[in-house]
């Protein structure tokens, strides 16, 4: 952290990253989620938006409130705990203000298409002349190098070109995208890890660097064994539905009121399961008495699956979880309401109340649990430019008169 940084006047939060200043020039999710993690961990994150074209995730549902007081809970979930300013980076004054802020910052995160910041005259090479310790994190669809670096990208782009889409779905049907924006989320998580590593290096050596994270690269690492299956055996991963490529039984099974995941494929777990359901002799039944036999796709489909479905059909998800306890890997496949209301989730503080339009709205909490850090309070997401005066005065000494001039010129 810069020795000269003082965030007391910026509503600084407590946490391990307290005092670290992050300039967040990102929008939607791939970027805002990364900087949200920093804010949750105590960093002073300054969300920078264009005064005439703020982050369009502000228009994403669900909304809380009505009329002029309406606010996006989606936007809040990824921008809580941040300060908000507006800068027109195409104006001379806007560029100058950003450069002054860079001099006080530790980290800058952007998710423009590669080359955009260069065209604005705000490239890493330019900014590091102002602050050699700056960690410059760039999240994009294809990364800053390579023949496809200039292509536009969304989350679905990452899922498509990273290989994950081709693997997801059911056999003999077209592949299906993963049902969440996993390309955006994975890129944000890798960006957070890389940024903190670069920050540690900057603190040690005094030299910042670029953290270059691509959605395609990030999604590729989520394909489990698909790459080595291909490079070793030329075996191409294809959709398997709820099945595992080689471990069985390991997947989704119906029960009285829905579905459960069951993964008792080892001989130990299989024997325990047979005993739990009153048929211990099935652990020794010819054809399914060893793990290797149960791995056979035909055996799994014709002998093991019918047995499990017969057992599970008599019980609800909750009853099956209770029976399995800590003996075998069996979990209810829960709906979102069931997850939100899960006592274990509550015990982990994973649904937190965040102010949105004057109301406290539940949203996911921080999954990183630090034993010496309190993570019980969360602040609302900022309005566009809400903290212009506070941030610009505290960090770079902008006066009220200058603030009015900058606003009138469209720079903020």
The residues assigned a catalytic role are: 184
Give φ, ψ of 101 to 5 degrees. Answer: -70, -40
Q: Which residues lie closer than 8 Å to 360 by C-beta, 6 or more apart?
A: 353, 354
- State the chain's maximal CA–CA distance in angstroms: 87
Q: What are phi and psi of 43, to 5 degrees?
A: -70, 155
Instruction: Give me the DSSP letters along 151-193.
Output: S---HHHHHHHTSHHHH-S-TTS-----SS-HHHHHHHHHHHH
DSSP category for residue 332:
E
**DSSP symbols for 8-44:** GGGTPPPSTTTT-EEEEE--SSTTHHHHHHHHHTT-E
User: Tokens standing for 201?
Assistant: 């290096």
Closest CA to 9 of 398, 392, 412, 379: 392
**Both tokens assigned to 130:** 């102002």
The answer to whether 330 and 319 have CB atoms below 8 angstroms apart is no
Instruction: Return the closest-CA partner of residue 303 out of 294, 312, 290.
Output: 294
Report the relative pairing of strands 107-110 and 21-25 from DSSP bridges: parallel
């Amino acid at each position: 952290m810069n020795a000269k940084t003082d965030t007391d006047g910026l509503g600084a939060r407590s946490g391990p990253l307290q005092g670290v200043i992050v300039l967040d020039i990102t929008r939607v999710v791939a970027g805002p989620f990364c900087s949200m993690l920093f804010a949750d961990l105590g960093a002073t994150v300054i969300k920078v938006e264009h005064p005439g074209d703020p982050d369009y995730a502000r228009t994403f549902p669900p909304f809380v409130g009505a009329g002029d007081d309406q606010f996006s809970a989606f936007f809040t979930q990824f921008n809580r705990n941040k300060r908000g300013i507006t800068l027109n980076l195409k104006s001379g004054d806007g560029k100058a203000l950003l450069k002054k802020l860079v001099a006080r910052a530790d980290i800058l995160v952007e998710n423009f298409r590669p080359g955009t910041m260069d065209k604005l005259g705000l490239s890493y090479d330019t900014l590091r002349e102002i602050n050699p310790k700056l960690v410059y994190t760039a999240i994009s669809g294809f990364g800053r190098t390579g023949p496809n670096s200039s292509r536009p990208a969304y989350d679905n782009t990452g899922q498509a070109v990273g290989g994950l889409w081709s693997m997801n779905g059911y056999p003999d049907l077209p592949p299906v995208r993963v049902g969440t924006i996993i390309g955006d989320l994975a890129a944000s998580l890798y960006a957070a890890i890389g940024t903190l590593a670069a920050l540690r290096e900057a603190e040690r050596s005094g030299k910042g660097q670029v953290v270059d994270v691509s959605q395609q690269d990030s999604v590729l690492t989520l394909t489990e064994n698909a790459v080595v299956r291909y490079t070793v055996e030329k075996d191409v991963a294809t959709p398997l539905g709820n099945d595992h490529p080689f471990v069985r039984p390991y997947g989704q099974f119906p029960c009285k009121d829905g579905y459960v995941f069951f993964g008792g494929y080892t001989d130990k777990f299989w024997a325990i399961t047979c005993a739990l359901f009153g048929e211990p002799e099935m652990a020794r039944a010819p054809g399914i008495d060893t793990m290797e036999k149960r791995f056979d796709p035909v055996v799994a489909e014709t002998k093991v699956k019918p047995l499990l479905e017969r057992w599970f059909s008599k019980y609800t998800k909750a009853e099956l979880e209770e029976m399995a306890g800590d003996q075998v890997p069996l979990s209810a496949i829960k709906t979102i309401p069931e997850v939100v209301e899960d006592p274990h989730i509550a015990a982990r503080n994973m649904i937190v109340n965040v102010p949105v339009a004057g109301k406290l709205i539940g949203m996911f909490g921080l999954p990183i649990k630090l034993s010496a850090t309190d993570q019980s309070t969360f602040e609302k997401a900022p309005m566009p430019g809400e903290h212009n005066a506070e941030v610009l005065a505290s960090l770079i000494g902008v006066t009220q008169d200058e603030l009015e001039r900058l606003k009138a010129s469209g720079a903020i």
